[in-house]
A and B are shown apart, each in its own frame.
Chain A
């Protein structure tokens, strides 16, 4: 049986973590950028930067999780 199937608490935690982290970093980037734009009256400069940062961070998180799952899968096959 695969490690992930045996270790259901970890699999569940990783799934919840991935879903919430991706949503949270994008929201934080957009809202944080919007707040900075209002504070410094800079149009949508910081909103754009925040959105890009948020999406990039979400991509990084997904990439890390994907690598982690791939590694576990390879270990299981061996």
Chain B
């Protein structure tokens, strides 16, 4: 049975796999994002209004942003959906810990405060970076591991491993640490101090989502760039 990093509060089992609050919260977040996306696109008009208008503006801005960041428009268009999904999922996950009453649910944590979630996100990025590199440069992509000299192989490998590791640990550390401090402050001084910290958490949660997305885009841009 897999119990790696699981919380105490296992809700039910899917075959041999225990399902806890974290997994259920992730399903709820995926459903929420799916429902909002469905509502925005279910009745598309040539002249957009309401939610469709907001989404179109957001998507145009997102494409422009990633095109500037990644230099190549075709690469930006190809990976913007994945990167935007990262951003949406992480920011909604981070904010889910701030929903009033969430702290009353026994064993509840935002999914990004659990290392399983952030490790999975970082591994998706690491896999995508390698796929993007091979898709853009073919087998020549392997050359960057021994560039500028074969002696640099250990250094290049260390750099490649450090990228997903830093993504995984930073997001987990920041959100988990923030949750721990909030819980501690709630215990010590139940109203005023936690309110201030929650205000700070709103900013921190958004910054972490932006940093994860920007870094993922930067790694893909580097793998698909001219230098390789």
Residues of A that sit less than 8 Å from B by CB: 7-10, 12-14, 16-17, 20-21, 23-25, 28-29, 53-54, 56-57, 60-61
Interface size range on B against A? 20 to 34
CB contacts (< 8 Å) of B159 on chain A: these are 21, 25, 57, 60-61
- CB of A20 within 8 A of CB of B68, answer no
Q: Does B128 lie at the interface of the complex (its beta carbon under 8 Å from any beta carbon of A)?
A: no
Residues of B within 8 Å of A14, CB to CB, are: 218
B168-192 interface code vs A (CB 8 A; 1 in, 0 out)? 0110000000000000000000000
- Using a Cβ cutoff of 8 Å, how many contacts connect chains A and B? 60
Q: A20-B170, A53-B155, A60-B152 are in contact. Are A13 and B162 (CB under 8 A)?
A: no
Contacts of B217 in A (CB 8 A): 13
How far is it, in angstroms, between the C-alpha of A60 and the C-alpha of B162 when the chains are bound? 14
A53 touches B68 (CB 8 A): no
CB distance from A68 to the nearest CB of B (A): 9
Select B211's contact among A8, A16, A23, beta carbons within 8 Å.
A16
Alpha-carbon distance A53/B155, docked complex (angstroms): 7
The 8 A-B residue pairs with the shortest CB-CB distance in the complex, in nearest-first order: A24-B166, A24-B162, A13-B218, A9-B69, A57-B155, A25-B162, A20-B166, A9-B68
